[in-house]
Amino acid sequence: MLNLLGTGVALVTPMNEDHSIDFGGLEKLINHVIAGGADYLVVQGTTGESATMTKEEKKQVLKASIDINSGRLPIVYGLGGNNTYSVLEEIKQTDLSNVDAILSVCPYYNKPSQAGIIAHYTAIADASPIPVILYNVPGRTVTNMTASTTLTLANHPNIIAMKEASGNMEQCMQIVANMPSDFLMISGDDMMTTALRAVGGSGVISVLANAYPAIFKTICHGNLEDSKKATFKLLSLNPLMYEESNPVGLKYLLKELGICKEAVRLPLVEASDKLREKIQAAMVL
């Protein structure tokens, strides 16, 4: 069983002022999160601005991440979309030989039925040469994957986990209570990680762990009291990461911490002066 317990870091894609990829910044970021105790890396998820990366750039970032990581941690690669056949083609065309699993988002915009979601993920899991992690984030995709849908898909031999970002604790608990023993419930919400741990969750794929991997090491591996206290340190900062859309606030925070530049690609723009002031006041030192 692939070990994806603890903190997965949903890596940003550092960029230069001209919005080209900053590979030096990527190296600094990966070394920072590994030194801070991250358990695995998630490359080209939503936080990595995958929506505005070309297919060639995504492959370049994946290759660079694999080279920088040098086998130190497992790597999960974001590979999803709302056109099932395009996803299947991308699976065929991507070298996944040094990738441990793919993270595939629930189809967005189309608003498929639950039966359509099951058919979509079944096709991906059948085609993928490596394990698949489901990703439910109805705040972005509109459509919620129900507990029943997740549990149906959890029985597929090549689907190993769910990244749950619905914010619905009862739905999460329904999944944990009934999922196969080797299936993983991964929090997709930094602030819900401790609560999910308490009912059987296995960790988080985190936004703020880009900046504070050591705090998330405590959240994911400390006792529940220490986990709770560590989470509370981030209560003021966490909502600021989404106030002007992820990863705008996060990239400003990373710039303030000296890790990478704050550049983001259109249609996102850099943090407003008001948001910068709020982040400076809420930073964990």
Beta strands in the chain (DSSP E): 6-10, 40-43, 75-78, 101-105, 132-136, 159-164, 184-187, 203-206
Is residue 77 part of the annotated active site? The answer reads no
The active-site residue, picked from 40, 77, 135, 212, is 135
Burial of 55 (0-12, 13-18, 19+ CB in 10 A): exposed
Rounded Cα distance between 152 and 156, Å, is 8
Positive or negative torsion for Cα 30, 48, 136, 77: negative
Q: Is 21 helix (H, G, I), strand (E, B) or coil?
A: strand
Residues contributing to the annotated binding site: 47, 205
Residue numbers belonging to the annotated binding site for pyruvate: 47, 205
Q: Is 252 considered catalytic here?
A: no
Contact between residue 259 and residue 36 where contact means Cβ atoms under 8 Å apart: no
Which is the catalytic residue, given 58, 163, 217, 251? 163
Active-site positions read 135, 163
